[in-house]
Amino acid sequence: MSNSERPNQLFRNLNAKIASIPMVLTALVVFVGGTAWTVLYSFTNSKLLPRLNFVGLDQYHRLWSTSRWLVSIENLLIYGVISLVFSLVIGFLLAALLDQKIRFEDTFRTIFLYPFALSFIVTGLVWQWLLNPDFGVQRVVRDLGWTSFSFDPLYNSSIVIYGISIAALWQGTGLIMCLMLAGLRGIDEDIWKAARVDGIPAWKTYLFIIIPMMRPVFITTLVIIAAGIVKVYDLVVAQTSGGPGIASEVPAKYVYDYMFFAQNLGQGFAASTMMLLSVVIVIVPWAYLEFGGKKRG
């Protein structure tokens, strides 16, 4: 076919391009435009309504000198490390067990995944009841005879974030298990046969052969977990509402409270921008690992 007969690149797959216009406009106006608008107004002293009265970095100085924000960041780091490590470890172990072609696999998979079908509000309320010292786990154990047993993390300011993390792990680990199980099922059976013939122990096969082959699955899983960590809000509200005091505050709750209760949009926008920065820190390395390596290859 001559060059004159070849369709112009602009008009190739024209129907698909026309159909994608609403999505592109939505991304540009809502996501990109909304993000730029938030960052812009974070440099203003907007209160109840946004106004372009620039104050430089004052909102950010005020943000990082507020004890409530610092507590939120500390809680997010603790919650993030716990969620990241334990979700991956428990999810992978459960997936490895289910990958052994056990009986009632479908039943177990459904049981493990079921908590993910619940909203964080429902999960938070359930675990608020379970961790209530008056009629939860502590009460049940004491009724069994261990009268000195104490387990009330949601009422102890020094460990409250760990109580919230327990609920988060219960709710989210099932999804991680399914992602890992899908990755394990994608491994060629010949690899397992070769490892057994060579006498390689199962744990070494997982650690040095299977896990490196599941790199794309792990990267995707890390991004999903990290996104859930940054935006955690409703679980905290349902369980503790940020208490005791400000002991379980998280950045998303800080943003919501300042924008809609304290009527300080500028401070809320500054906190939102810092949350956006944390998302960028997660997304950029993921994009580099996912796409940069392919281009070099």
The model's pLDDT over 51-65, given as tens digits with 9 standing for 90+, comes to: 889 999 999 999 999
27 or 52, greater pLDDT? 52
- 290 has a pLDDT exceeding 80: no
Share of the chain above pLDDT 70, in %: 94
Share of the chain above pLDDT 90, in %: 62
- 295 has a pLDDT exceeding 70: no
State both tokens at 96. 């490895």
Provide the CA 209 distance to its chain's centre, in angstroms.
27
For 44, list phi and psi in degrees, rounded to 5. -115, 175
DSSP assignment of 194-261 = HHHHTT--HHHHIIIIIHHHTHHHHHHHHHHHHHHHHT--HHHHHHTTT-STTTT--HHHHHHHHHHT
The model's pLDDT over 242-260, given as tens digits with 9 standing for 90+, comes to: 989 999 999 999 999 999 9
For 287, list phi and psi in degrees, rounded to 5. -65, -40
State both tokens at 76. 């997010």
- 125 has a pLDDT exceeding 90: yes
CATH architecture of 58-292: Orthogonal Bundle (1.10)
pTM, two decimal places? 0.86
The model's pLDDT over 173-225, given as tens digits with 9 standing for 90+, comes to: 999 999 999 999 998 889 988 988 988 898 899 999 999 999 889 988 988 89
Where do the structural domains in the chain lie, given as residue ranges?
1-41, 58-292
